[in-house]
Amino acid sequence: MNTLPAPLPDFAYFYPMPRFSIHHITKYTYEGPVRDSANQIVLFPIKDEYQEVLKQDITITGDPMVDIYKDYYGNEIGSFTNAESHTNLIIDSRLEVITKPRPPLVDDAPLEQQWAALRDIRWQVPYIDFLKQEKFASLAELLDHARPEDKLTLTPLQVAQELRTYVYDNFKYIKGVTTVETTPDEVWKLKAGVCQDFAHILLVLLRQINIPARYVSGYICPNKNGMRGEGATHAWIEAFIPGNGWVGLDPTNNCIADDLHVRLAVGRSFSDCSPVKGTYKGTAGQTLEVGVSVSYESGKTTEDTTTILTPQAVRNGNASGEQNSYRRYMEMMQQQQQQQQQ
């Protein structure tokens, strides 16, 4: 049955709607043949009044059948199995999407009324799911430093924006120092990381003062204007703000998430939104490469799609993630110091 697209808010007709073509490749290469590879992919963009998917093609090594279903949070999830022997797995997603502007934020309700509204929903679904803290041994130390409870004389929107700025100001953006399995404790120790690490720290701070907050995975498409996270998958958070609903906050770039942010999925943390994860039978040794390229209506592309793949850290065996992350950080700091002295 044909359905008409959702009507745009009145203000949307006064602004051009960005249209993006996104190429996202994930490539696993194994040291030897593997089989019975069972995988889950979260590569299907959210479809709502702010985001319209025009076209998407996904090709996978072995051309397996992909079963698609919706998870608890409303995300589209794909699952597939490659039973045949293979030495690599390539998941290639090509996407065309239009993003639409959101209404201006409002913050005119009385302060106490807004905080009371948050107290009233803290035991309700789905908000209760986005208030539960992750395991974080250094929580007290972080709270003592950031002091989110001292900001309760502000409105929830003002507090959320100040805490977003706190994360941006106090954590260094360094690619390669963490992995997808890095914990909030490791990030706090390093005071460094990438977009998903910034997002996890902001989630902790917002949830501590009873502002429901959820992790968002996706892409940022700023046409090479210097924003962090371009040319890769990106992550930010959405906070539930009375009078506004879910508001996107990008601590990596210290901005409101707008129509340059393409959303793939939402969840409690990265583990709910991981673009690709799975298991297989065979050798433990593997390498992972991921690449993202964004094309604009003008035809300009952030990178040549034949060269966008870059190696990613993969944790094998019983290696300690904390030791690995800290060692990588110290090595990078030493290299920077040596370069400055030369």
Q: Are residues 55 and 82 in the same domain?
A: yes
Note whether 29 and 158 are same-domain residues: no
Residues 226 and 93 in one domain: no
- Show the domain range for 194: 111-271
DSSP state of 279: E
Q: The tokens of 217 are what? A: 């995975």
Task: Give me the half-sphere count of Cα atoms (radius 13 Å) on the Cβ side of residue 25.
Answer: 20
Strand segments, DSSP code E, in the chain are: 19-41, 51-60, 67-70, 76-82, 86-99, 172-173, 192-193, 213-220, 233-241, 245-250, 255-256, 261-267, 276-282, 286-296, 310-312
pTM of the model: 0.86
Distance of CA 231 to the CA centre of its chain: 13
Q: What is the CATH number of the domain that holds 182?
A: 3.10.620.30
Domain count, the chain: 2
CATH of residue 67's domain is 2.60.40.2250
Do 306 and 258 share a structural domain? no
Residue with tokens 């390498």: 287
In a domain, 2, yes or no: no
The rounded distance, in Å, linking the Cα atoms of 151 and 171 is: 20
Local confidence pLDDT in tens for the 342 residues of the chain: 344 444 545 444 445 678 889 999 999 999 999 999 999 999 999 999 999 999 999 999 999 999 999 999 999 999 999 999 999 999 999 999 999 999 999 999 999 999 999 999 999 999 999 999 988 999 999 999 999 999 899 999 999 999 999 999 999 999 888 888 889 999 999 999 999 999 999 999 999 999 999 999 999 987 666 677 666 789 999 999 999 999 999 999 999 999 999 999 999 999 999 999 999 998 778 899 998 988 876 555 545 555 677 777 665 433 333 445 555 555 555 555 555 555
Encoding tokens for residue 33?
A: 């043949």
Q: Which of 254, 271, 288 is the last residue of a domain?
A: 271
pLDDT given for residue 181 in this prediction? 84
Q: Residue written as tokens 């409105």?
A: 155
Among 243, 271, 299, which residue terminates a domain?
A: 271
- Are 236 and 248 within 8 A, CB to CB? yes
Q: Give the phi and the psi of residue 225 in degrees, each rounded to 5.
A: -105, 20
